[in-house]
Amino acid sequence: MGKELIPNKDRILKFIQNNAITLGMILIALYVGIKEPNFFTWDNFKNLSVNTTTRFIIALGVSGCLITKGTDLSAGRMVGLGACIAATLLQKAGSAGKFFPSLPDLPIIFVVIITLAICGVFGFTNGAIISFLKVPPFIATLGMQTLIYGICLVYTGAVPIGSLRDDYTIVAKGSFLGMPYLLIIAVVCGILLWFLYNKTRHGKYMYAIGGNESAAEVAGVNTGKVKIKIYTLAAVLYGLSGILLAAKAGGTSVNMGLGYELEAIAACTIGGVSTNGGVGKISGILIGVLVFELLKISLQFLGVETSYTYIVQGLVIIIAVALDLRKYLAKK
């Protein structure tokens, strides 16, 4: 009953308040679309959706950390690590400057598993540091961010890695019945995480920890174990995104993924994942990522210089979080 009693006008106002960033971005996109006829084209749409896929997978990973009131600043560097490991193991035979000159052609699935497993170990470490050593997630993952970058530098010697095998790059370029593989992979990830968040104990425990960690502990939830699972899964998703990004770019370097964690956190926040914990939906995360990518493409179309787009993106992140916190400020 209660809901129907709120006057329509107030509900519309509330909706606008709660979705201010999304609505603002859509307005910008409409403006760009009217000004630049090339904006609303199939090619541009395809470009947008393919760009969104890898970012969506990263955002899915970081969402679990955010819902439990944590964060994961190692996401971007983990993407870079995943990209470098996969790329070094999947170069064309006999190509100049091959990282492992005598390495035979390994099965792709085997490389994927190795890459995800290595990233998973780092994610597990993040979770264990946060759960057992009680280091705040911000600091723990900040340290891990630098640590992973260092490992990546040592591993690759800061040399860019190219000449990737065609059967690897096809993952990013190919499509099935007109659906790009990347899109299919992202959709599968989205569905799996939706299932995990809504239909399993792990999901319920995750929201409970975000809602009130002490209460979750009292209710018998093994909060440490749940958090370790969350950070491990997150790292696996970053690794997957790294593999796809390297394939998409046809090569990689240690700088792959730089700053992606902030974009992912921003996208989650825009999509309604609260930095206050306990709240966040997969559909919201998708919208958040789309909106953020839309912003980037719009700025590109408007001919805004890349340097300026960073300024805009930074502002959007701050505004998104500020608006989100306003919703939860205690009304005294």
Partner 1 sequence: MSDFLLEMIGISKSFPGVKALDNATLKVRPGTVHALVGENGAGKSTLMKCLFGIYSKDEGEIIIDGKPTQIVNPYDALMKGIAMVHQELQPILERSIAENIYCGRFPTKPFTKVIDHKKMYEDTEILLKEVKMNFDPKVKLSTLSVSQMQSVEIAKAVSANARIIIMDEPTSSLTQNEVDNLFEIINSLRKKGISIIYISHKMDEILSISDEVTIMRDGQYIGTWDAKELTIDMIVTKMVGRELKNLYPPKSNVPGEIVLEVNDLTSVTEKSFKNINFQLRKGEILGIGGLVGAQRSELVEAIFGIRGIKKGTITYKGKLIKIKRPHDAIMQGIALLTEDRRATGIFGVLSIAENVSIASLDQYVDHHFILNNKKIEKLVQDNVKKLSIKTPSSKTKIQSLSGGNQQKVIISRWLANDPDIFILDEPTRGIDVGAKYEIYTIIADLAKQGKSIVMISSELPELIGMSDRIIVMCGGRVSGEVSREEATQENIMNLATKFA
Binding site for partner 1 (CB under 8 A): 1-2, 199-201, 204-205, 207-208, 210-212, 214-222, 274, 276-279, 332
> Least Å distance between CB 188 and partner 1?
18
> Least Å distance between CB 219 and partner 1?
4
End-to-end CA distance of the chain: 25
Phi first, then psi, for residue 205 (nearest 5°) are -65, -35
For residues 244 and 119, give the distance between their C-alpha atoms in angstroms, rounded to a whole number: 14
Are the CB atoms for 282 and 64 separated by under 8 Å?
no
> Least Å distance between CB 272 and partner 1?
12
> Least Å distance between CB 66 and partner 1?
14
For residues 296 and 308, give the distance between their C-alpha atoms in angstroms, rounded to a whole number: 11
SS3 assignment for 277-303: CCCCCHHHHHHHHHHHHHHHHHHHHCC
Cβ nearer to partner 1, comparing 139 with 219: 219
Cβ nearer to partner 1, comparing 56 with 205: 205
Cβ nearer to partner 1, comparing 86 with 221: 221
> Least Å distance between CB 140 and partner 1?
22
Token pair in block for residue 217 = 């502990």
Those residues with Cβ within 8 angstroms of residue 144's Cβ, 6 or more apart along the chain or in another chain:
73, 74, 77, 122, 125, 126, 129
Residue type, 171: V
Cβ nearer to partner 1, comparing 214 with 306: 214
Cβ nearer to partner 1, comparing 154 with 219: 219
> Least Å distance between CB 240 and partner 1?
22
Cβ nearer to partner 1, comparing 91 with 275: 275
Residue type, 219: A
> Least Å distance between CB 4 and partner 1?
11
Cβ nearer to partner 1, comparing 15 with 195: 195
Cβ nearer to partner 1, comparing 17 with 198: 198
Are the CB atoms for 290 and 50 separated by under 8 Å?
no
> Least Å distance between CB 5 and partner 1?
11
Token pair in block for residue 169 = 């790059």
Cβ nearer to partner 1, comparing 14 with 201: 201
> Least Å distance between CB 130 and partner 1?
18
For residues 137 and 140, give the distance between their C-alpha atoms in angstroms, rounded to a whole number: 5
